[in-house]
Amino acid sequence: MKFFIDTANLDHIREANDLGILDGVTTNPSLMAKEGIKGQENILKHYVDICNIVDGDVSAEVIATDFEGMIKEGEALAELHPQIVVKIPMIKDGIKAIRYLTDKGIKTNCTLVFSAGQAILAAKAGATYVSPFIGRLDDISFDGVELIEQIVNIYNLHGFPTEVLAASIRNSMHIIKCAEAGADVVTCPLEPIMGLLSHPLTDSGLAKFLADHNK
Ligand code: G3P
């Protein structure tokens, strides 16, 4: 399973990367805005800065919602750096854009996926990754992890090469559940990643070992 960090915060990306467990980065327009990255030039430079920190795929989202606009933006994003994966929303023109970019050899990440049907379309269009948002499903009382399981089963059954990238992960338990469900990738903020480190018995056990050593 690959581990991506879902942020545009360079310090968080460096911290996760320094752990030696990071395989890539996902961003979206909200995450870029959260870091105060504004204006096309700054946004593009920020993507390159991210690529220079991490070895692995970096998802950069298009803003256009029409086919022509999405492919134009997508091609420009892909030219920025070989690690860029073009993130395209799950809409009708988005599916067409994924097909077009895939045929041109450009990697894509189909985002805002909330159903197995949407995931099937993304895979048929040739998306490199499909991003089901599990936290947002949980928010409306649907089981996000169940959707990951369903998509993983369908893709395995039919041999779709599209990787299931579990997104909108809010806590460490989500990461574990998505790993159990067979997600190819999990993407989440730094906090749930660091949360995986903690166990009170590790802390008390280590304290006792050190105390005994010092006796
Ligand atoms: O990768 C998608 C993610 O950024 C959305 O997360 O917490 O805003 O639902 P969230």
- Measured from the CB, is residue 109 less than 6 Å from ligand 1? no
Annotated active-site positions, please? 87
**Ligand 1 in contact with 133 (CB < 6 A)?**
yes
Going by alpha carbons, the residue nearest to atom 8 of ligand 1 is 168
pLDDT at res. 88: 98
Cα(177)–Cα(173) distance, rounded to whole angstroms?
6
Residue of the CA atom closest to atom 4 of ligand 1: 168
Could you tell me the two tokens for 163? 């990787």
Q: What are phi and psi of 86, to 5 degrees?
A: -85, 120
The tens digit of pLDDT for each residue in 109-144 reads 999 999 999 999 999 999 999 999 999 999 999 999
pLDDT in the model for residue 133:
98
168 lines ligand 1 (CB under 6 A): yes
Q: Tell me the whole-structure pTM to 2 decimals.
A: 0.96
CA–CA separation, 148 vs 177, rounded Å? 9
Atom 10, ligand 1: which residue's CA is nearest? 168
C-alpha–C-alpha distance, residues 26 and 83, integer Å: 12
pLDDT digits (tens, 9 = 90+) for 84-110: 999 999 999 999 999 999 999 999 999
| 164: nearest Cα among 177, 153, 176 | 153
96's tokens: 């067409």
Q: For strands 24-26 and 57-61, give the pairing.
A: parallel
Return the bridge partners of 111, or none.
89
| The ligand 1 atom nearest the CA atom of 167 | 1
